[in-house]
Chain A
């Protein structure tokens, strides 16, 4: 316990130290302010931009897109995973596909999606779904694989139908793995949507950053960037700790 606290303290110190060093370098001119602005200025710019409501529209647009992609990915992924799990034959074919899916940089499809669906939200949603769904499929499969045979026997003994077996036995038993899929899906959907906005789009936080960069507005760029990164870190950290709590509760029995 003592060691764990020491680890957390050192980690916080490392983070704080690097921010301070960056701040000092920027203030003393070792780092050109045209390249990187001091962290305090980034933070002030972020607060300004949130306070003035400049970001509201982009925040709404980006997060509604991410949420839509995330929901679709969870739905499609779990459904596809459950279906693939039932058929060995399908599984044999799909497994190699899943194994190499993430080696393909999904973003390269984005220009094609834009040409196909126009420059609205649709290509962003599709890009988010494309990057997030396979993670859900993979974790659904591994979750269902991990269900102890004895539990399935139990379901048979109690004459549960397929739907009830799924709801009462398989899903709860597979929950930790499913949760991992959920966590990955959020992070992939976030990355997919923001990267899409960044490369080629007219709205959203990713576009704001790229627009600020192209108009040499460093203050706005770093403010928005810090906001996006903080939101991503907080969202991931939240899911991470939730996952840890879930695992601890399970190990307690």
Chain B
């Protein structure tokens, strides 16, 4: 066993937190160093070094062109995520409450979840044509299933005691939904939304990377094609930072909605 783990296990929570903060800084610095090393090793033909990327990015956000593409991605993503959420919650609720339908549908959904959906993108393009609707549809294809599956699981695993309580209290269906179902299922639903969020973003970006004239995915591939290395590195950085920030936020939210005490 390493001495380190014993040491930090014995240490007080405060000093453990300090060690963790220190280690996190070290980790971030070493990742930046690795980025720098790859950047200078390839002398900037593949990846621009961090500092250069940052400078380029600061210039980029002042251009109208960048915001135009960013807005295109954002609109497609927001629409895809909203549609995935609405349809996924409704579908998950219905399939969770009707157990037979749920059992029929779940493996089909799970199967769809694991197939390489990229291969289906040409079909989406043929149906919706090039443009916004194809991107949105592809985002929904990615985001819908996890939200449905998580909601379904949450509703199905709901403790029967809660349902009986609602019956005893003569709650109307609307109130049952508001006061019993939603709070009890919230942590799982937030988890599903978190995964749905990243996957619909993935769907929209792949759509843009494969065939589109607008959006960050297009900008990324285009930057590569024109050998504009700082541009593609900057776009990748923006996407990574946004994705991680959103995910962290939703993880926090999920922890806050988790039941505080289990009786």
A positions within 8 Å CB-CB of B? 3, 6-7, 10-11, 14-15, 34-36, 86-90, 92-93, 96-97, 99-100, 102-105, 107-109, 111-112, 114-116, 187, 190-191, 194-195, 198-200, 205-206, 209-210, 212-213, 218, 221, 225, 228-229, 232-233, 236-237
Contacts and interface: CB of A to CB of B under 8 A. Distances in A.
Interface residues of B, number: 64
Contact of A199 (B5, B198, B209, B235): B209
B216 to A, nearest CB: 9
B159 interface: no
Interface string B26-47: 0100000000001000100111
B247 A100 contact: yes
B116 A191 contact: yes
A75 to B, nearest CB: 21
B78 interface: no
B16 interface: yes
Contacts of A191: 116-118
25 contacts: A7-B100, A14-B104, A89-B4, A89-B23, A92-B16, A92-B23, A96-B248, A103-B197, A104-B198, A104-B243, A104-B244, A105-B239, A107-B202, A108-B239, A116-B38, A116-B46, A191-B118, A194-B118, A200-B221, A205-B119, A225-B122, A229-B115, A229-B116, A232-B115, A233-B114
Contacts of A88: 4-5, 8-9
A221 B122 contact: yes
Given A103-B243, A116-B38, A233-B115, A108 B205 contact: yes
A93 B29 CA distance: 13
A87 B2 contact: yes
Interface string B215-246: 00100110110000100110110011001101
A229 B121 CA distance: 13
Contacts of A90: 4, 23
Contact of B236 (A87, A89, A108, A116): A108
Contacts of B122: 209-210, 212-213, 221, 225
A115 B19 CA distance: 38
Contacts of A236: 111, 114-115
Contacts of B117: 191
Interface in B165-208: 194-195, 197-198, 201-202, 205-206
Nearest to B195: A102
A237 B111 contact: yes
B230 to A, nearest CB: 12
B245 to A, nearest CB: 9
A109 B121 contact: no
Interface string B117-145: 11111110111000000000000000000
Which of B104, B221, B229 has the largest count of A CB atoms less than 10 A from its CB?
B104
B20 interface: yes
A21 B238 CA distance: 44
Q: Do most interface residues of chain A lie in helix, strand or loop, or is the interface mixed?
A: helix
B251 interface: yes
Contacts of B157: none
Contacts of B116: 190-191, 194-195, 206, 228-229, 232
Given A36-B123, A89-B5, A112-B236, A103 B19 contact: no
B1 interface: yes
A22 B20 CA distance: 56
A36 B126 contact: yes
Nearest to A88: B5
A225 B5 contact: no
A103 B247 contact: yes
Given A103-B194, A225-B119, A232-B116, A199 B19 contact: no
Nearest to A111: B224
Nearest to B108: A11
A88 B4 CA distance: 8
A194 B119 contact: yes
A9 B244 CA distance: 43
A103 B100 contact: no
A41 B201 CA distance: 33
A154 to B, nearest CB: 17
A92 B20 contact: yes
A88 B16 CA distance: 10
Nearest to B23: A93
A11 B223 CA distance: 46
A14 B108 contact: yes
A195 B120 contact: no
Nearest to A213: B122
